[in-house]
Structure 1
Amino acid sequence: MIRKSLIMKIFDAAYMQRWNDRLRPIELTELDKQAHKMFIAYFIGKFEETSHEFNWLEVIEGGIFELLQRIIITDIKPPVFYKIKSDADKYRKLNEFVFTELKTFISPLGDSFCRRFKDYFLATDDTLSKKVLGAAHIYASKWEFDIIERLSPEGYEIKEIKEDFVNRIEVYSSRLEGMRQLATHSSYRNFIDLCGHLRFQSRWAQLHRIPKTSVLGHSLFVAILSYLFSLEMGACPRRCFNNFFTGLFHDLPEVLTRDIISPVKRSIEGLSDLIKEYEKEQMERVLYPMIPKEYLHEIKMFAENEFSNVVTINGKHENTTCEDINHKYNYNECNPRDGKLVKAADELAAYVEARVAIENGCLSEEFQRAKWTIKNKYETSNIGGIDFGEIYADF
């Protein structure tokens, strides 16, 4: 079972500053970067998913494992990290240290999860799933670097860093169709760019809060929680995939409408539905034309009606319950998605944000209200076998 300690450890990534030896116009955090990486991994992975070598759960778990590794080793500069990684013995010892530091946090998830975590860093990087994650990592880092370069184009090592990024992207472009598609289609690059813009939108923007988190970082937090809950309930691989990427994409429309807080949406009858309709219109007009038609339907499922439980029967989406999915539809061919579970993960993430803000001295009445409202809502809630009351009791 996922415990408070792991939830809070994942949230530590919101504090971690990237490029902190460079002049930056905005804060660049690890949580945001890892979130953008997973958006990019989804795009690249869609061009590889028909290969028998490719596995979506390896991509998802690899992204989670790499985030946890980064949280422990913090801000080791890439040249130093790659130097360590080139020495198999030193890299093994580094990851033994990482596992030792994380063991108490991840052990409640079970022996199988812990074993996969350890094996991931011992295995070769030459698998298709790891290539997709590697390419997404480089692309997301280069996206951040472009911001820094504009501010200081003649800065120390800027030229060398840029050349290294260009070389690494060329290598991945020679191996992955998705990278070649990004290179040749400006609309695809614009889609990735728009996803990245979610990092410019602050959560709880009207309130002073430490740490500040973005819609982008929040989306990854929700996605990870959704995936870990899915594992706990014994979800089939497709259900795990759908729940993770629904968590990741659920706030994508806000890149066009901004993050409108729930009290405002509830303040006027029908306002929430009006905003939802406007989001859909903007997605149809601006964002959907950027996405390959082959999987546009999938992103629509992730970003529209994202909190409904659905299965696919005879090619049509049907609403159902998490319990029915558990007992009747927990099969890949049913394409199940637990929207209610993703909603619970979304609100748990909001609860953590409010609670941490209060602990850090941000004593707004709105944080207090959000903290108690969310906790009271879920203290007796069980969704698909996940006892949320027990999770909130941990806090």
Structure 2
Amino acid sequence: MISRSLIELIFSSSSIERWNDHPRPVQFTEMAKQAHKFIIAYVIGRDEEDRGVNVDWQSLIEGSIFEFLHRVVVTDIKPPIFHRLMADKTQRDQLNRWVMKKLTPLLAPIPGNLIDRWEHYFLSDNRERQERKYLQAAHYLATKWEFDFICLWSTPIYRIESTKDEIYRQVMEHMDIQAVRKIVQDEGLAGFISLVGQLRFQKRWAQTPRIPQTSVLGHLLFVAILSWLVVYELGGCDRRLYNAFYGGLFHDLPEVLTRDIVSPVKRSVEGLEQMIKDLEMEAISQEVLPLIPTSWHDEILSFVKDEFENRIKREDGTRLILPGDLTEDHDKDHLDPIDGKVIEGCDKLTAFIEASESIRIGIKSGELFDGKRNIYEKYYNKTLNGYPIGILFDYFR
């Protein structure tokens, strides 16, 4: 089962600052950067599919998560040194085996041979797989997006131009991928990537101090990984896993346009929460969908509309909201099942952890205590779609 230690490792990326030896307009964290990378990788994958390329989405998702965990473990190694180590096969294998030793106690308890899949990803000779190239391209594009802010503040920094040239060189090496060209040449996809990136600047729990302060974009990654892990433990089919991951990764996308409105405010006036939902869908239709291909619209809407409801796809392609749990009868690729209740549970779990960690450190605000208590009362003994998610809340009680 998912352990407290694994969840804490994931959450620790909220405290890992990037570019901490450069002046920055805001704090850039590893969690938010990785979230941006994952979304860019999705954009690349979908664009490749539109060109007729067969994308192995499970490989792309697993690779995203594995590379993220790897980077968190080796966070003390500065990127230039890290990339040099990974370029040499002997040094790369030694580093990978050391990381695997650290991660084995965290991944081995999860059913489904996840640790074996991690070992195969990093220690087998499959570095030429196209999904790895998509992730590498996404990594450099997310880094470039950050650096374009850093560069404006860092003109006097020694060798800043060399850093810029190296980042741009790495991006240019992936210009054979059509989506990369579109993003670099500032076409529609570039606008979508930039819009999503703005979720780095929106803070969670904005009404109270917290440590670490987390962004909406980083929160999306946290929810996505936890949702995927839960469904992976349940033995979900490929589409169910796909939807758990990307449903978690996009569930708060409307907040790039409406900002994070806390639950007490939404529920303060009867009907206000639904009005906000309607405005969010209107904003998505007017501001987000025009930036991406029409062929993606239905899927993006399926991730942000009724995002916390269990649902499957009917024969006519429309979505059916399930009144109860998503069961084995729904666990079929052609039904395109989405574990909305699991995504909601993981969304609340991340908020619970954020409040718990801040309280543990010594921030004693009433908002944090109230939020933690209210969430725990709802989930402490909860089972969602057959998964005892209440156990995960007990870890941080």
Shift of 1:327: 2.4
Shift of 1:394: 2.8
Q: Is the 8 A contact 1:53 1:127 kept in 2?
A: no
Q: Mark the CA change 1:73 to 1:322 in structure 2 (over 3 Å): closer, same or farther.
A: farther
Q: Partner of 1:98 in structure 2?
A: 99
3-state DSSP class of the match of 1:23?
coil
Q: 1:117 to 1:322 in 2, by over 3 A?
A: farther
In structure 2, the partner of 1:246 is: 247
More helix by proportion, 1 or 2? 1
Quick one: distance in 2 between partners of 1:134 and 1:158? Answer: 22
> In 2, are the aligned partners of 1:311 and 1:319 still within 8 Å (CA)?
yes
CA pair 388-266 structure 1, distance change in 2 beyond 3 A: same
Q: Distance in 1 between matches of 2:111 and 2:248?
A: 23
One-letter code aligned to 2:159: E
Whether the 8 Å CA contact 1:18–1:75 is kept in 2: the answer is no
Q: Contact conserved, 2:247 with 2:343, CA < 8 A, in 1?
A: yes
Q: What's the CA shift for 1:69? A: 1.0
Instruction: Say whether the 8 Å CA contact 2:111–2:233 is kept in structure 1.
Output: no
1:79 counterpart residue number:
80
| 2:263 corresponds to | 262
CA distance in 2: counterparts of 1:203 and 1:33, whole angstroms: 16
After superposition, residues 1-395 of structure 1 pair within 5 angstroms as 1-49=1-49, 54-110=55-111, 112-123=113-124, 124-174=126-176, 176-314=177-315, 315-320=317-322, 323=325, 325-395=326-396
Return the alpha-carbon distance in structure 2 between the equivalents of residues 160 and 215 of structure 1: 32
Q: CA deviation at 1:307?
A: 1.0
Cα distance, 1:98 vs. partner? 0.9
Give the whole-Å Cα distance in 2 for the aligned partners of 1:353 and 1:87: 39
Report the RMSD for the aligned CA atoms in angstroms: 1.5
Alignment partners' CA distance in 1, 2:5 and 2:115? 16
CA distance in 1, matches of 2:269, 2:318: 34
Question: Which has the larger displacement, 60-69 or 346-355?
Answer: 60-69
Sequence identity (%): 41
Query: In the TM superposition, what is the alpha-carbon distance from 1:171 to its structure 2 partner?
Result: 1.6
The 8 Å contact of residues 179 and 189 in structure 2, kept in 1 or not, is answered as: no
Task: Note the C-alpha offset of 1:260.
Answer: 0.6
The 1:198–1:148 alpha-carbon spacing in structure 2 relative to 1, beyond 3 Å, is: same
Give distance in 2, aligned partners of 1:43 and 1:86.
26
Residues 182, 188 of structure 2: 8 Å contact kept = no
For 1:109, what is the secondary structure of its paired residue? coil
Structure-2-length-normalised TM-score: 0.95
Question: Structure 1 pair 92/111, CA: closer, same or farther in 2 (3 Å)?
Answer: farther
Q: Whole-Å Cα distance in 2 between the matches of residues 52 and 186 of structure 1?
A: 21
User: Cα–Cα, structure 1 residues 156 and 278, in superposed 2: closer, same or farther, change >3 Å?
Assistant: same
Following superposition, the deviation at residue 2 of structure 1 comes to 0.9
Kindly provide the CA deviation profile for residues 197-236 of structure 1, in whole angstroms up to 9, marking residues without a partner as x.
0010000011111000000000000000000001011110
Q: Secondary structure at the match of 2:209?
A: coil
Q: Would the aligned equivalents of 1:358 and 1:367 in 2 still touch at CA under 8 Å? A: yes
Q: In 2, distance between residues paired with 1:184 and 1:300?
A: 26
Q: Report if the CA contact (8 A) 2:307-2:340 is conserved.
A: yes
Separation in 2 of the partners of 1:321 and 1:99? 42
- The structural deviation recorded for 1:184 is 4.1
Which 5+ residue runs of structure 2 have no aligned equivalent?
none
Q: Give SS of 1:118's match.
A: helix
Listed one character per residue, the Cα deviations across residues 93-148 of structure 1 (whole Å, up to 9, x for unaligned) are 11111111122222221361001112211233211110111010000000000000
Moved more, 35-44 or 147-156: 147-156
Alpha carbons of structure 1 residues 47 and 370: separation in structure 2 relative to 1, 3 Å:
same
Secondary structure at 1:276 match in 2: helix
Distance (whole Å) between structure 1 residues aligned to residue 152 and residue 203 of structure 2: 22
The letter of the residue matching 1:113 is L
Aligned partner letter, 2:7: I
Unaligned regions of 5+ residues in structure 1, if any? none
The answer (yes or no) to whether the contact 1:226–1:342 under 8 Å persists in 2 is yes
Deviation at 1:316, TM superposition (A): 2.0
**Superposed displacement of residue 154, structure 1:** 4.4
Amino acid in structure 2 at the alignment position of 1:30: E
**Letter aligned with residue 279 of structure 2:** Y
CA distance in 1, matches of 2:237, 2:184: 34
> Are the aligned partners of 1:49 and 1:56 in contact in 2 as well (CA < 8 Å)?
no
Q: Secondary structure at the match of 1:267?
A: coil
